[in-house]
Structure formats: C-alpha cells, structure tokens
Structure 1
C-alpha cells in the first residue's frame, strides 16, 4: 500500500516551525496584522460556506436540536464541570493555582469557528450542523465563559470580572453572522460556482487553519511562554491537554452512540464539542484577567490545546473522509405467485 503524504498535517508542523524561528510577523502587533488577518480569514470561511450551503441545508442544520444540545451541553456543561474538578480537586503539588485556573478557563471557552467547520467538511460530516453550532457556541461563549470564570474568581477572591458584552457580541456579528448572511444572499449568482469549485473552498478552510496555528504559536513564542516557566509546567500542560481532549472526545462518542446519531451527525458533534477556541480565548483573557502577572501561565493550556486539537482532528478527518459509504438497502424483488 502506497503511503500518501497529508499536506495539511505537514503544513501544521511547518507552521509551528515558522512560528518558532520567525514569530514576530505573526505575533500580536506584527507586520502581518494577525488580529485583522485572522478575522478576515474567518469572515471568508463563513462567506464561502454561506454561498455553498443552500437555505434548505441551513434550515436542516438549525433544526437538528439533539446534536445542538449535545454540542453546547458539552462545551458549556461537561467541559466546565471537568475543569471545576481540576481546579478544586487537584493538589497544588501537582498543578500550581495559576495553571489550574488556566485549565478551568480552557474548559469554559466556546468551540472553535472555522476549524470545526473545515474539519467536519474534510471528514464528510454534517457541515450545516457544524456551521450552526460554531456560530451558536461563539455567541453563547460571550456570556457563558465570563460567567463561569466569574463564578470561580468570586468563590476564590470575592471579585467577579467585568466584561464588555456589547462590544464582543458586535464583533461576532460583524465577522461571523454578517458574512454568512452575505454568502446566503449571494447564492443566486455564486451558488453554481461554489458547487463546481469545492476544492477552492476546502483550500480556503485549511489555509485559514494553518494561519491560526502559525499566529497562535507566534504569540506564545514572543511572550516567552515556552521557556519562561520551565519544562515541568510545559509537560504538565501538554499531558493535561491530551488527557482532557481524550476524555471529552470519548464521552461525546459514548453519548452519540447512545443517541444513535448518524455518522455525519456524530462527526459534527465530536469535532465541535471537543474543540476550544484560542482566537476567542486570548482577547477574553486579556479582559477577564487584566493586570494578572500570571496571564501567560493561565493561557498556556489553551495555547497547547488549540494546535493539539487541530492535529488530532486533522488525522481523524483524513481517516473518516476516506470511509466508504454504506451500500444502499435494496428492496426484495417480489416473486410471481404460483
């Protein structure tokens, strides 16, 4: 059997290497303007999916309430409860308070945007469901993430965080909802083009993911996260992130089996439910933990979890995308009466 190189997975390692050796351009304030570049890339993804997805498909995705309940319940229910167990249960000898807070913050974040949709599409899952849940998770996260973190901070210090809900919601509407609606409105003119150029849309999806990986690592390298706290903190964060992803992915898989979801719905649920957004997490953290000198340590778990989840789901998407569709069930030919 001939081994085929996965350019997308190879591109991830290249993006990490570029960030390690050339972090300045992709870091916050760099000449690539990653803040704008990332938002523009996400807007492009949602615009193209708005063009490619028919209104009927969007409606089908919106009405699949069982999968939506599973994804959002995982992102803002199961995940934070696991994070709460880590924050309250693990002794300080295992994880420092700042690192435990970082893991809880990771668990309280919403799901990713473009990568959830792109991975679901690559795995031939239910893209309309992924689009709907990625958007819904981002909107809900604006409120639920600071509420979860505020609950923890209040229980520990009596000071709940303040958060500019209006500004963030407006930003989400501007970069997510408006492009999606614009894509839907463009369907009469561009719908046929999108159908004939699916590979272009897939390339835009995956290119955006590689850009997110690069800029994510650039920020962490420039901030000195990888070297400033020692190898032990890095190893514990990596092992904890792997364990957290594995546990949640396994739990969601069990629930999907119990709910008897189709393979397409299962892919969307597991990919959307297990992911956490670094693009949302970093600006939120700067507001929620403003002035905290340990901000780099608090962000370390999500900085590790984000590229880790992309690598794992990319491998799964490649495998599931090559699966064979089940053979259609043919009705028995009626036999003539004797």
Structure 2
C-alpha cells in the first residue's frame, strides 16, 4: 500500500493542486484565454454527455421504490446543507471572509455527487440500487434547484435578487449541462457498450474536463488577484469548516435514518448520498452562474470539501463494511445456540 493510500489522499487532488499552481504561475491570457474558454465549453458538454451515457435506466428504476429514503437524502442535500450554510454567517468576518463564506453557500446549494456516493455505498454494503437512483435524481434536480438556492442563499446576502436572472441561469444550465446529458442517455443503446468497455478512458475524460475548467477559472482569478485575498490562514479555515460541516451532516443523517427506522443498508445509503457535494457538477455550474473573475474564489471551498468528504467517507465506508462482515460472521453461530 502506497503512502497516498495510507493517508487516503486522492491522487486527483494532487493533480488539481498542480493545475492550480500552473494557473497561478502561468495563467492563460488574451487569445489563449478565449481558446481555453471555448475548449472548456466543449469539455463540459462532453463531460455531461458521458454522464448521461453511463446512467443505467434499469438501475435507476430498481431504486425508485425507496421514496422515503430519497426524501431524506434530498432534504439533507437541498435543505440541511443550505441551513447550515446560512448558520455559518455568524463567523463572518471574524473567521471567514465574505468571499469564502459565499463559496460555502455555493457549496451548500449543489446537488450530491453520483460516482463517489455509489462507490462508498457499495464498499459499505449499503443499498446500491437506491443509491444509484437517489444520487442520479439529486444530480438532475440540481440543474433546477441549485440556481434557485444560489439566488436565495447568496444574492439575498447582497441585498436582494431578481427572478429573471434565476430563470436565465436555469435555462443556461439546462442548455449547457442537461441537454448533453439527455442526448448521452438517449444515445446509450448505441454507445452504452463502448462506454462500459472503456471506463478508464471515460473517467479520464471526466477528470480532464474538470481540470480544464479549474485551470481557466483559476487563471482568471489569478489575473484578478486571488492570492492577495486568499492567505494560508484562509485555507486552514476552509479546511476546518469543511470538516465541521461534513461531520454535522454525517451525524444528522445517521441519527435521522435510525430514528425513522431504516435498516442498516438503507442507513448507509442515506449517510453517503446525503453528505456529498458534486465537484463534477459544481465547477461547470459555477462557470455558467458567475462572472469568470469570481469562479476561482467561489469553488475553492468546494475543492477542499470534496477531498475532505472522500477521505472521511473512505474511512467510514470501511468501518461500515467491517461491522456488516462481523454481523454476518456471528449470525450463523447465534443460530446454532440452543
């Protein structure tokens, strides 16, 4: 086992850090920036096209029946997170700057991630079919709900907002994110086999698209002076608040699942699907919703929270798996007792 695996550091995080460093020293400007922005638009479309092509209709339909579970997950994603984000206002400006706080509000408005939520649910021996349905539905609903939440959470902090801009944002997101996803899903009968056979290539395409968006976003932010605004203390504060935010949501979901009488596999699904925020959706969506100069600062809490959720949930998934294995091992012995 490598030291990265022992520390549970995602290699993708290291690549992200390298991309941010490259943007800091060699930001794209002028004609190069225009070219990269056009490439970014194409990469985002390809990213969501592939997401649509990977989405199995049968797996989604198989988990639809667990509607109570889905309601809990959606409330966690689109209600609990936003409320916690608003509660963080008390730490502004003593512990959080206004721009970083806005980044956390944006994070709290995002849908759940799909791939890691399903992966952790599977590792922990949870209800995978329900996780596929819940995470996929969260991603789709986020196209409509996240811009509305962004408007309610962020722009009201600045003194009001208009409905026209929200509708325009939803329309832009549908055009740039949802339409490619629908086309990909409709094309699944034609390309589904190829996608299944080339998972590594598809995942590489996903991550390359995110890296390109991050490079363009941070290039613009660097030109606008992001590193004069973000200090080492700010990064530590973002990490600390990310840990606390994730811990509160994990505990709330765990006890809510038990209080409502869900069995352990369903509890696992609620815990992992209700605690994730999507980097894959969040960065492209920020590119649509905000001016280019704001994107780099706004997505910084999301990038750090993304790694925190991967590291913490990896440990938690293994703990659930060991607990489930221990229960299965003791069950036959208990059955043989007189």
The answer to whether TM tops 0.5 is: yes
- CA shift for structure 1 position 33: 4.6
> CA separation in 2, counterparts of 1:114 and 1:283?
17
2:238 corresponds in structure 1 to 237
Q: Give the 3 Å change call, closer, same or farther, for CA 12–166 of structure 1 in structure 2.
A: closer
2:171 corresponds in structure 1 to 166
Q: Give the 3 Å change call, closer, same or farther, for CA 151–110 of structure 1 in structure 2.
A: same
1:83 corresponds in structure 2 to 85
Q: CA RMSD in A?
A: 4.2
- CA shift for structure 1 position 265: 2.3
Cα deviations by residue, 1:115-174 (Å, 9 ceiling, x for unpaired): 333433444433322222223222322332222332342464233361332342344443
Q: Give the 3 Å change call, closer, same or farther, for CA 215–289 of structure 1 in structure 2.
A: closer
User: Larger deviation: 277-286 or 93-102?
Assistant: 277-286
2:311 corresponds in structure 1 to 311
Q: Give the 3 Å change call, closer, same or farther, for CA 306–286 of structure 1 in structure 2.
A: same
- CA shift for structure 1 position 274: 1.1
- CA shift for structure 1 position 48: 4.0
Equivalent residues in 2 for 1:21-100 (5 A)? 22=22, 30=36, 33=39, 36-37=42-43, 40-41=46-47, 43-44=49-50, 46-50=52-56, 55=58, 57-87=59-89, 89-100=90-101
1:297 corresponds in structure 2 to 297
User: Larger deviation: 73-82 or 324-333?
Assistant: 324-333
- CA shift for structure 1 position 276: 1.4
> CA separation in 2, counterparts of 1:205 and 1:117?
17
Q: Note if contact 1:12-1:311 (Cα within 8 Å) is conserved in structure 2.
A: no
Equivalent residues in 2 for 1:257-296 (5 A)? 257-290=258-291, 294-296=294-296
2:249 corresponds in structure 1 to 248
3-state SS of 1:274 partner: coil
**Uncovered stretches (5+) of structure 2, i.e. residues with no partner:** none
- CA shift for structure 1 position 244: 0.8
- CA shift for structure 1 position 218: 4.1
- CA shift for structure 1 position 295: 4.7
User: Larger deviation: 274-283 or 217-226?
Assistant: 217-226
Q: Note if contact 1:111-1:276 (Cα within 8 Å) is conserved in structure 2.
A: yes
- CA shift for structure 1 position 68: 0.5
2:135 corresponds in structure 1 to 134
Cα deviations by residue, 1:161-217 (Å, 9 ceiling, x for unpaired): 61332342344443444444554x479x959x97xx8xx75x578757765775576
User: Larger deviation: 303-312 or 229-238?
Assistant: 303-312
> CA separation in 1, counterparts of 2:317 and 2:20?
26
Q: Note if contact 2:127-2:266 (Cα within 8 Å) is conserved in structure 1.
A: yes
> CA separation in 1, counterparts of 2:264 and 2:209?
28
Q: Note if contact 2:113-2:135 (Cα within 8 Å) is conserved in structure 1.
A: yes
Q: Note if contact 1:278-1:303 (Cα within 8 Å) is conserved in structure 2.
A: yes
Q: Note if contact 1:12-1:213 (Cα within 8 Å) is conserved in structure 2.
A: no
Equivalent residues in 2 for 1:210-221 (5 A)? 211=208, 214=211, 218=215
Q: How many residues in Structure 1 have an aligned counterpart in Structure 2?
A: 319
2:115 corresponds in structure 1 to 114
1:12 corresponds in structure 2 to 12
> CA separation in 1, counterparts of 2:176 and 2:14?
31
TM (norm. structure 2) is 0.73
TM (norm. structure 1) is 0.73
